[in-house]
A and B are shown apart, each in its own frame.
Chain A
Amino acid sequence: MTEKAAKWIFWLGTLSSLVLFLVLTVDTHSQFAALTHADQLDEQVIAGKRAFEHYNCNDCHTILGFGGYYAPDLTRAYTRLGSDTIRRRLAAPDVAFADSYRKMPQQNLSEQEIADIVAFFRWVSEIDNHDWPPQHSEARWKRSTERLMAGAVLSPGAALINQEDCLTCHALGDRGEKIGGRLEWIGSRRNSAWIAEYLANPEAFAPGTEMPSFEHLSGEQRLMIGEFIVSLDTAEGR
């Protein structure tokens, strides 16, 4: 190869890649508004982002898959946990994770900061990012729940969940609210006996939670609810 050819390779290579990159950057900017629902990016969401940065949450947690790998990814935190679950963890991580082998610092966030961070997570959870992370794919949860509901005769546990209005706070398949955690997500980390016990006295497990007690149900009914929730786990082979 001559030196002249080498210089050509340098300039052609560099400039062609640069031009392509800059053109796509401009185009990406024109699409960000729609892909990230920028119209919902209000003052509270921005305040939440500032708080998230102020407390350096991102050096333990990933968000959109970037950051420290020490704690759960928060891209879909809102989808998975719901607003009150997040609130209680931020208000008292020392209590919420008292039994865990890995701790989150108690940084004494104000009520306002917590509300802002929840708003931020809510906005982030709606970013259209080609359904990453796979383990928190809402589409996958909904599909598998649909299949479960279609396949089985409505289980007694499912009937109880309807009867007790759990979905005024919890999400399930296409339905429900996001105050407590998505039932599919709960099912992937708990067993039925634990859930039965929890339902009798949530306050004992999660001090300060909004979740009411379901002591009025019999132990057997609570266990049936637990079995249904555990059967929602996508890792169960569906």
Chain B
Amino acid sequence: MTYRTQNVAFPYFVVALLLFGLQVIVGLWLAINYFFTVPQDVVNVFSFATARAMHTNLAVLWLLLGFMGSTFYMVPEETESELAWPKLAVAQLVILSLTGVTALVGFLFGWTQGRPLLEIPFTLDVVIVIGVLMFLANIGTTMIRAKRWTATQGSLLAGLVFLALMYLFGMPFYKNLAVDWYYWWWVIHLWVEGAWELIAAALTAFILMKLTGVDRKVVEKWLYVELGLFLFTGIAGTGHHYYWLGAPKYWLWVGGIFSALEPLPILLMVVDTLRDVRKRTKPLEPKLTWVYLIGMIILHFIGAGLFGFAHTLPGINYYTHGSQVTVSHGHLAFFGAYVLLNLTFFYFAIPRLKGLPGNNYDERAGHWGFWMMSLGVVGMSLAFAVAGVLQSYLERMMGQSYMLSQEPIRFWMFVVFLHGLIVVAGVFITIKHLLTLKPAPAGAGGGAGS
């Protein structure tokens, strides 16, 4: 750490990690609902619907808080200046956390906008918009005052503004259900396959430059190409969600073709990362940070690129749409791309914030955390995938009624649950490890600089 105000990142990381822990516990409860008959009296007060709203909103909330913290860490170093208003950054964290907690408690009492993933009621949406405006003003002002523009921070800022703009489309009440879903995807798809990818590319480029010592010119040149391909395939690729909602038939072509190309920029990101690693001028230390970085690009490619491609063509999507196949892809993609991105950044930033000698740390428990989480999520996603293929075959192709086709699926959801237990254990080991990082034991590795 070179700038005092980078410190505001740490409380963001702490809140994000705690919410992550809560999110996966609620995930276990969702899986239980699938194989165990929850009694009517319990369902009446705390239903699957409420728990699902909590699980998904917690996911989005903590990932966004993690991005914000990472941004506050990165921007001073990129601009070579202190943050414009560090106190505002703290106030913003308080506002957003309180809004998040209010929303979660509100769900328990039925206060919801009732649209999946966007359940947060309009009133609270307005508070969130205020919080995000504070955020954009803070980093925008820092960048403008510093007058030191880099492609890396440019892409980060573009991603964040894009993200904030798209959120607005999810706020109003739409009378027409088809129009409602049309714009719902402007939030969900254009986030994870647009804005968030820009943020991911920027944060990854930043970490790579710092860790490998590879020349900024090389990294940023390829960053332009990555971003161009992400947006070229991702924007029109939104059409892969417009097949069956009452939109014209040309979306089957546009959505199918553009989204089929979406794995390319992800693959390019893998290639770029591996090239930077090969050309590094610094040692790969500490090892765990690298395990995370490499694990992230691989699972990002498998979860988003391969699992996404598997059901993106209209001929396949007709049978898999809205089944457990979607859930399988959703989990592996979110985990591989954005959970691991956040954790990679935390492992990069926290030793520096704490000023641990040589930016190194005692990494032993962290490896357990990584492997339990990653193998757990991979196993879970495979079990979701089996359930989804069964559902697509029995319900959609054979024409069995939904409840009949769910019977064999209950077993696979039990398998999901078992893997979920491993995930939860891994998550808690990781949280504890990150929040109590200790200096590396004597003799283990030298310094990695900056």
Contacts and interface: CB of A to CB of B under 8 A. Distances in A.
Interface of A: 1-3, 6-7, 9-14, 16-18, 20-21, 24-25, 27-29, 31-32, 35-36, 38, 41, 46, 49-50, 52-60, 62-73, 94, 98, 100-107, 124, 127-130, 132-135, 185, 188-189, 233-235
Contacts of B212: none
B176 A38 contact: yes
A134 B244 contact: no
A103 B232 contact: no
A133 B189 CA distance: 21
A69 B228 contact: no
Given A9-B224, A134-B399, 11 more contacts: A10-B228, A14-B228, A24-B236, A53-B114, A56-B49, A65-B245, A69-B324, A73-B402, A105-B44, A135-B401, A188-B401
A62 B323 CA distance: 9
Closest 6 CB pairs of A and B: A53-B114, A65-B322, A13-B232, A59-B49, A13-B228, A132-B244
Given A1-B225, A106-B40, A135-B400, A35 B243 contact: no
Contact of B244 (A46, A52, A64): A64
Interface in B171-186: 173, 175-179, 181-182, 184
A136 B240 CA distance: 21
B400 A188 contact: yes
Interface of B: 33-34, 37-40, 43-44, 47-50, 52-53, 110, 112-116, 119, 173, 175-179, 181-182, 184, 217, 220-222, 224-225, 227-229, 231-236, 238-239, 242-252, 254, 258, 318-319, 321-324, 326-327, 395-404, 406, 410
Contact of B178 (A13, A35, A235): A35
Contacts of A106: 40, 44
A233 to B, nearest CB: 7
Contacts of B245: 64-66, 127, 129
Contacts of A21: 235-236, 238
B350 to A, nearest CB: 32
Given A56-B110, A58-B116, A72 B177 contact: no
B52 A132 contact: no
B113 to A, nearest CB: 6
Contacts of A57: 49, 114
7 contacts: A13-B229, A28-B248, A28-B251, A31-B247, A127-B177, A128-B246, A233-B399
Contacts of B247: 28, 31-32, 35
Contact of A14 (B40, B231, B318): B231
Nearest to A62: B322
Contacts of B396: 133-135
A60 B112 CA distance: 14
Nearest to A20: B236
Given A9-B229, A52-B114, A134-B396, A32 B235 contact: no
Contacts of B49: 56-60, 68, 70, 105
Given A32-B247, A70-B33, A3 B225 contact: no
Contact of B406 (A14, A50, A102): A102
A3 B217 contact: yes
A69 B254 CA distance: 27
A119 B406 CA distance: 28
A68 B231 contact: no
Contacts of B176: 32, 36, 38, 41
B248 A234 contact: no
